[in-house]
A = this chain, B = another copy of it.
Amino acid sequence: MARRSREDTARTRQQVLDAAAALFRARGVHGVSITEVMAAAGLTHGGFYKHFSSKEELCAAAIEHASRGTAAELRKRMTAPGAAAFAKAYLSKLHRASPDKGCVVAALAGDAVHAAPEPRAAFGDAVRELAALIQDQLGPARPAVRRRALANLATAVGAMILSRAVADGALSDELLEAAAAQMSE
């Protein structure tokens, strides 16, 4: 193929990011090859390095990209204020079933621990963004609210990760419900 216009190049980059953000969340970073990401974006693998210098750099960019999407989606789903509305929006069975479109923190926490500094830093930013979002949802920026927001973040993310990891559907449901109940108290 031949050289593309600037608009095409920018559009391609976004398509690669969209594909990577979805595939990485669905199957984990190491579970998806660059060839698969490029194919999902409608391209062949060779052109990848015209957009990113390495898989790690893509990973970091994809986490950042997904984080913006996660936050926007969550804000849209939380119509009322308070912890119960967050719990309902976050701990749904729909969210559990669609990691590719869901919270990047829950989907990639396991990968982030062992990731290179760049994607790790991007993951840290995503955690901070989600914490801030929950804090806004719970109330004014006071220390007690901050603490409750972080605890609810841990509960929500932990429940989502475990409910996805466990094969037994009944236990999986129980985990979501117990976490939602505690957060809504």
> Interface size of A by Cβ–Cβ distance < 8 Å?
49
When C-beta atoms are compared, the residue in chain B nearest to A128 turns out to be B171
When C-beta atoms are compared, the residue in chain B nearest to A115 turns out to be B165
When C-beta atoms are compared, the residue in chain B nearest to A91 turns out to be B154
Indicate if the CB atoms of A178 and B147 lie closer than 8 Å: yes
* Interface set, chain A 9-29, CB cutoff 8 A to B: 27-28
- In the complex, the count of this chain's copies comes to 2
Q: A177 to chain B: which residues have CB within 8 Å? A: 147
When C-beta atoms are compared, the residue in chain B nearest to A26 turns out to be B114
A47-55, A66-74, A105-113: which one contacts chain B? A105-113
* Interface set, chain A 141-167, CB cutoff 8 A to B: 146-159, 161-162, 164-167
* Cβ-defined partner of A113 (8 Å) among B121, B152, B165: B165
**Assuming the A-B contacts A28-B114, A181-B147, are A158 and B154 also in contact, with contact meaning beta carbons closer than 8 angstroms in the complex?**
yes
Question: Does residue A174 face the partner (Cβ distance < 8 Å to B)?
Answer: yes
If over half of A's interface residues share one DSSP class (helix, strand or loop), that class is named, otherwise mixed; here it is: helix
Given the complex of chains A and B, what is the CA–CA distance between A166 and B120 in angstroms? 7
| 29 sample A-B contacts, Cβ–Cβ < 8 Å, listed by A number | A27-B114, A28-B114, A31-B114, A109-B162, A110-B110, A110-B111, A110-B165, A113-B165, A120-B167, A123-B166, A124-B166, A124-B171, A127-B162, A127-B166, A127-B171, A128-B171, A147-B177, A147-B178, A148-B178, A148-B182, A150-B174, A153-B158, A154-B158, A154-B162, A154-B178, A155-B158, A156-B158, A157-B158, A157-B162
Residues of chain A whose beta carbon lies under 8 Å from any beta carbon of chain B: 27-28, 30-31, 105, 108-114, 117, 120-121, 123-124, 127-128, 146-159, 161-162, 164-168, 171, 174-175, 177-179, 181-183
